[in-house]
Amino acid sequence: MTKSFNLFFVQSACKKYFRKRKSLKIASVLISLAVLLLLIASQQIIPTKALAERLESDSYIIQFGNFNMGSGKREGTSYNVSYTLGQTGAGPYGDYQSTNYFVGSGFQYIYQIDSFEFSISDLNIDFSTLTPSNLVTDSNTLTISTRGAGGFTIYAYEQYPLTHTDGSTQIADTTCDGGGCDETEAKPWTSNTIYGFGFNAQGDTVSSDFTSSDPDCSNNTECFRQFADESNSESMQTVMSSTDAAQDETATITYQLAISGTQAAGIYQTGIIYVAVPGY
């Protein structure tokens, strides 16, 4: 009873209020609309201050082909820019050192004093003594630095699958838990009853399949790939890549191996090769 009375009271009070303020309401709506229109108009008509400054300056307004940055070389924390790039001049070629040797003006001659660096923290993969149905791992770190803004790519391949010193017995590359991983795509491999050899890569610039959500690779070292097998004419595959300049960009590579109880005892070896290629 009290509740319905209260509701009735509020409703009637509101009605009275709105009736009295009807003209005010219309006015406020009109004002709001006007403000909105003004805002839109100002957005359209008045360019921002910075833009106006830009328009007033005649120096870096570019007449194309004339992106006059000067000449030389400077380095930034994230990108390095050649001063010569796009400089005024007909083409990218200029004299360099000798009459029949030209390096593009506006091209890479600035890179001639730069370098591209690549390192591997450990050159021996050592799984120690293997016991059947155990996942054993070893790891190393790849580090890359590239001064040019063209970025880099690191590929990986194996010379042949892990092979016994007898020359014929092999440990096959893993096919991962669901049987779907190969040299191009990483998949989860956590089961010790899935036998084989594979690798995982972790880092900011590693291939996305190592960190994808489908399949779930959220656990950092869960998804594995086969190495591309050179002896089987498989093409080397990208492990890390970036289109940006890199300074000590790293990736941790985890090698994983599991063998069955029937695997012949002995030493198994392969050669893993990483190829670092600069972008242009």
Partner 1 sequence: MKFKRKNIIINSCLTLLLNSCLTLLLIVLAFFSPIFTKTAKAESPPLSLSVSPPTSYLYVKPSEAIEHTLILRNTGSQDLEVKMQLTDFKADGKTGRPLLSSGSIFDKLINPNLDFGKPFIIEAQDNRAITLNFDTAKLVGQKEYPLSILFHAKSIKSEKNQASFSQVSGTIASNLIVFISENEENQGKLIIEQLKVPKLIDSFHSIKFSLKAKNVGSNAMPVQGRGIVKNFLGQTINEFVFYPDQILAKSSRQVRGLELKAELFDENQELIPEKVEGLAFELEHKAPILFGLYQLEIELDQEKESVNVIALPFSVLVVGVAGIGVYLGYKQLKKNL
The C-alpha angle with vertex 71 and arms to 68 and 72, in degrees rounded to 5, equals 145
User: Per CB under 8 A, does 146 bind partner 1?
Assistant: yes
What tokens appear for 198 in the block? 């594979």
**Per rule CB under 8 A, is residue 130 in the interface with partner 1?**
no
User: Which residue in 27, 31, 55, 172 binds partner 1 (CB under 8 A)?
Assistant: 55
Span near partner 1 by CB under 8 A; candidates 18-26, 52-60, 177-185, 186-194: 52-60
From 29, 54, 180, 265, residue interacting with partner 1 (rule: CB under 8 A)? 54
Closest distance of CB 219 from partner 1, Å: 25
The DSSP H or E segment spanning 24 is helix 22-45
Output the CA–CA distances (angstroms, integers) from residue 140 to 124, 250, 252, 256, in the order listed: 9, 10, 6, 12
| Contact track, partner 1, 59-88, x by CB under 8 A | xx-x-xx-xxxx---xxxxxxxxxx-xx--
With CB under 8 A as the rule, give the number of residues binding partner 1: 92
Stretch that binds partner 1, among 3-11, 143-151, 184-192, 200-208 (CB under 8 A): 143-151
Minimum distance from CB of 178 to partner 1 (Å)?
A: 26
Contacting residues for 158 by C-beta, under 8 A, at least 6 apart = 173, 227, 228, 229, 230, 270, 271, 272, 273
Calpha distance 279→80 (Å, rounded): 13
CB atoms within 10 A of CB 117: 14
Contact between 112 and partner 1 by CB under 8 A: the answer reads: yes
Give me 125's structure tokens.
């993969």
Least distance (Å) from partner 1 to the CB of residue 132? Answer: 19
Structure tokens at 94: 């200029």
Q: Does 44 bind partner 1 (CB under 8 A)?
A: yes
Q: How far is the CB of 244 from partner 1 (least distance, A)?
A: 7
* Least distance in angstroms from the C-beta of 211 to partner 1: 19
CA distances in angstroms from 12 to 1, 4, 7, 8, 18, listed in the order given: 17, 12, 9, 6, 10
Q: At 54, is the secondary structure helix, strand, or coil?
A: helix
Which residues from 203-262 bind partner 1, rule CB under 8 A? 236, 241, 243-244
Told to check if 263 binds partner 1 by CB under 8 A, we report: no
Assess 93 for contact with partner 1 (CB under 8 A). Answer: yes
Residue 160 found at the interface with partner 1 (CB under 8 A): no
**Looking at beta carbons only, is 202 or 217 nearer to partner 1?**
202
Residues in region 5-34 near partner 1 by CB under 8 A: none
**DSSP-assigned letter for residue 83:** T
Whether 40 and 74 have beta carbons less than 8 Å apart is answered as no
Q: Which stretch binds partner 1 (CB under 8 A): 3-11, 19-27, 48-56, 176-184?
A: 48-56
**Interatomic CA distance for residues 259 and 134, integer angstroms:** 7
